[in-house]
Structure 1
Amino acid sequence: MTDRGMVIVGAGHAGVSAALALRASGWRHTITLLETQDVLPYERPPLSKSVLTGDRIIEDYRLFMPGKMEELAIVFRRNAHVAAIDLGERNLVLSDGQTLAYERLLLAPGAIARTLPIPGSDSRGVLTLRNAADAAQLRERIRIGSGSRLAIIGGGLIGLEVAASARALGCEVTVIEVGRRIMMRTLREEMARRVQSCHEQAGVEFCLGSRIVSIVGDNEVRGVELDDGTLVRSNTVLVCVGASPRVELAKEAGLAIDNGIAVDRHLRTSDPFIYAAGDACAFEWEGGPRTRLECWKTANDQGKTAGRNMLGISEAYLPEPWLWSDQYDKSIQVAGYPDRSRHDVDRFCQDESHLIFHLGEHGEVVGFSGFGSQRQVGHGVKVARLLMQHGVRPSPVDLGDASLDLRSLLGSVAA
């Protein structure tokens, strides 16, 4: 008889959390976790920070403690590439010709970094950052010596985290952004200006509202040419212009695709035996249109929900977006849905931290943004998430009063 276990494609946060949820929910048969890289499962967020600076190594961020996979009887297969899914037979066909039968299948392949279709984009020294190998390559290039110069294309979170890490290594950094300001999709303008000012004080240069004509250099990068004729000199270029979901495998199998691998509220694809989670997953939910969220918390939460639902629990996934970024000695955190705000309340703390509570139509907190000290921003996001979860409608005056303890706004809700 064919051993049909639970099979998970992708050993990132979504895949690992699903495997753990399967075991915790009572699945006692085979769990197979497939990874295309030749590494043990690891956390991705440190790649642009402590791993890049060399303060920590990737082994410090393993998603399983040594011996834990063996203890949980999770079969981990590295360098495993899936060539096709046979929906009728419920088999995976691997690139080496092997087949793997599944009872339920979770697709958590993640996303791939977007590149730029411009002259010179294939030159040596033009990099992206999505995995541990990328981080190692980037680190070696920005540590070449005192003459190391890095051009970062894209003024989003990853690009700015790399900018801070590169400056810590003594590398000269220029951030090039096609928009009129950095972090257009993440932060309100005045907060984004404060983030930019922090980087400028650390020596980072910015070229805003700049379109890239080409990457200059024969075999090695020498710079980035802008549409106004400016040449941003650099010997390494990092492209940080977003990511595209890995949908090829699902698409070739005939699964529905809609801005990612389309799933319902239970994270089930158009095939009842297959689920999807993480960066490649585009999910339905009652609060809005089909959505795809790229952050580790979303991947982790979706993995847990998918793992339980693979056992027939039918639990609806309820998104709780929350992202953060550490840059220099400052923290950026965003929670909820700031874009749904009807009214913003600013809170300026004594240590110059800036918190924003985003309020909805009826005065409810729908989102939070913060930039400043880890203490103030961390406390602010904790309170904001509790306010959102419990539907508390605090006084805008009290929210903006930095002399008032935020915990007093929670009422009977414990902070």
Structure 2
Amino acid sequence: MRIAYVGNFHNFGNSVATAGTAIVYLMSELEEVDGIDVFCAVPNFKKEQTFVSDKVKIYPTFDPRKPLSTINLYGIKWKNYDKIIFNILPTAFGKSALLNMIGVLAPYILTKFGHRNIRVVYHNSTFTNDVERLGYNSRTDRIKKIILSKVEMRMFESLPVYMPLKIYVNRILSKKNKALVKHIDMRYFEAIPTIYINALSRKKFIERSKNSNKTILLHGYWGPQKNLELALENLLKLRSEGLEFYLILSGGVNGNFPDYVNRFNELVKKYSSTIDERLGYVVERDILKLFKRSDLVVIPYNAPGGHSGVLETAIAFDNSVICIKHPEYEEQSTGLDGIVLTDPDHFHEDLKMCLKENSQCNIKTTINISEKIDRAVDSVRHLLE
């Protein structure tokens, strides 16, 4: 079976690249898959250490800086493939509205040319997320939303679309019960690239040592909806109350919100006495090390953009987590220990509880990697049905 994958990939584009890389790595494990051609963005400015299976070939196809470059997707010989997998969201291809619209339209248009072997992994939608709370609240953004919603519904009605959250599937079906939208279990996908790049995919277990002082991780692709100050303000108060911990702040700033850069820098300066270690963007190889050295992952977001990659990575590496209670995070954490769901009013006391030595947020020292990879491989197989 020959597979075409369309979307960002490690070192080639950014948006949902981690999930897309996981899809490719996991599909390469399947015996029935002979080869995977990756049609992705042009190479990133800085290349990181990576892993590529012998089954995988990479073809840079579109440029996030060129509004018409996604037209290149329409010139590929799609008839050469048994399955075509798109891994996208409304802003997956770049910052240009035209670039993204041409890209998001591609799966639907290809069905009109007779290609019935297309599957779309779609991470969020105008029908599932409050885009204004996510920071897209200008008049132009509202017009884009109206147009995009019509494009999305065409896609939902025409071909199988897989979403990583059941609540998103239900929201779409409540508006259009004939939509061909399904759920795909993407548990552990966000951790797959760092596991493979660190050559641990054949290991059964990995170990972590206990920290003498509780290590807290604030990690993300920071933007106005991430409510970073809620976490920093409360951690400052807890430190003044005598609680001891080591705080790591990591991750870059979301380029879709250029005005937020100054605000982010102001927060880092304001709470510099609370932040023990400031890391910028963390390369994929070092994600494993970062989460292994962390005890508690704090996710203070006031509006979820979808399936949380940070939460999923923490779950994969058995970190304890405290996060704001949203339906998305409730679904992701169902049946799991060590995850505290709270709200802004109770954030302080719940965070304090997590930092106490004998709380339910105690860390696990042995991580079962093979079990998690097996589950992820079984999940990705559904895209080939």
Query: Do the two structures share a fold, i.e. TM-score over 0.5?
Result: no
- Looking at secondary structure, tell me which structure has more helix per residue: 2
TM-score w.r.t. the length of structure 1 is: 0.33
Q: Which has the larger radius of gyration?
A: 1
Q: Which has the higher contact order (CA 8 A, sep 6+)?
A: 2
